[in-house]
Structure 1
Amino acid sequence: MDLKLEHISVALDHQKIVKDVSLGVATGQFVGMIGPNGSGKSTLLKTVYRVLKPSGGKIFFGGENIQSMRIGASAKNMGVVGQFNNVNFDFTVMEMVLMGRTPHKKMLSTDNEQDRLIALAAIAKVGMTESINRSFLTLSGGEKQRVILARTLTQQPKFLILDEPTNHLDIKYQLQLLGTVKSLGIGILAALHDLNLAAMYCDKLYVLKDGKIVAAGMPVDVLTEDLIRDVYNIDCHVDVDLRTKCVSIVYRPLDLAMGYN
Structure 2
Amino acid sequence: MDLELKNINVKLGDKNIIQDISLAVAKGEFVGIIGPNGSGKSTLLRTIYRIIQPNSGIILLDGQNLKDVKLSESAKKMGVVGQFNSINFDFTVLDMVMMGRTPHKSLLGSDTPADYAIAMESIRKVGMEKHVNRSFSTLSGGEKQRIILARALTQQPQLLILDEPTNHLDIKYQLQILSIVKSLGIGVLAALHDLSLAAMYCHRLYVLKEGNVITSGVPNEILTPELVRDVYEIECDIQENPATGYLSITYYPTCRHA
TM bucket, shorter chain? over 0.9
My pick for the range that moved more, 133-142 or 246-255, is: 246-255
SS of 1:102's equivalent in the other structure is helix
SS of 1:148's equivalent in the other structure is helix
- The answer to whether 1:152 aligns with 2:152 is yes
Is residue 236–residue 249 contact of structure 1 (8 Å, CA) maintained in 2? Answer: yes
Cα deviation digits, residues 204-259 of structure 1 (max 9, x gap): 000000000001000011100000000000000000235654322111123068xx
1:56 deviation in Å?
A: 0.9
Aligned to 1:84: 84
The correspondence of residues 162-241 of structure 1 with structure 2, limited to 5 A, is 162-241=162-241
C-alpha separation in 2, matches of 1:219 and 1:243: 17
Cα deviation digits, residues 12-70 of structure 1 (max 9, x gap): 11211000000000000000000000000000000000000001100001110001100
SS of 2:165's equivalent in the other structure is coil
Is residue 122–residue 151 contact of structure 1 (8 Å, CA) maintained in 2? Answer: yes
Aligned to 1:11: 11
TM-score by length of 1: 0.96
C-alpha separation in 2, matches of 1:172 and 1:254: 29
Is residue 79–residue 157 contact of structure 1 (8 Å, CA) maintained in 2? Answer: yes
Could you tell me which runs of 5 or more consecutive residues in structure 2 were left unpaired when the two chains were aligned: none
1:108 deviation in Å?
A: 1.5
SS of 2:19's equivalent in the other structure is strand
Aligned to 1:142: 142
Structure 1 stretches of 4+ moved >4 Å = none
C-alpha separation in 2, matches of 1:152 and 1:109: 19
Could you tell me which runs of 5 or more consecutive residues in structure 1 were left unpaired when the two chains were aligned: none
- The answer to whether 1:56 aligns with 2:56 is yes
Question: Partner amino acid for 2:190?
Answer: A
C-alpha separation in 1, matches of 2:100 and 2:19: 33
Identity among equivalent pairs (%): 60
TM-score by length of 2: 0.98
C-alpha separation in 2, matches of 1:254 and 1:16: 30
C-alpha separation in 1, matches of 2:220 and 2:12: 34
Question: Partner amino acid for 2:8?
Answer: I
C-alpha separation in 2, matches of 1:85 and 1:243: 38
Is residue 91–residue 136 contact of structure 1 (8 Å, CA) maintained in 2? Answer: yes
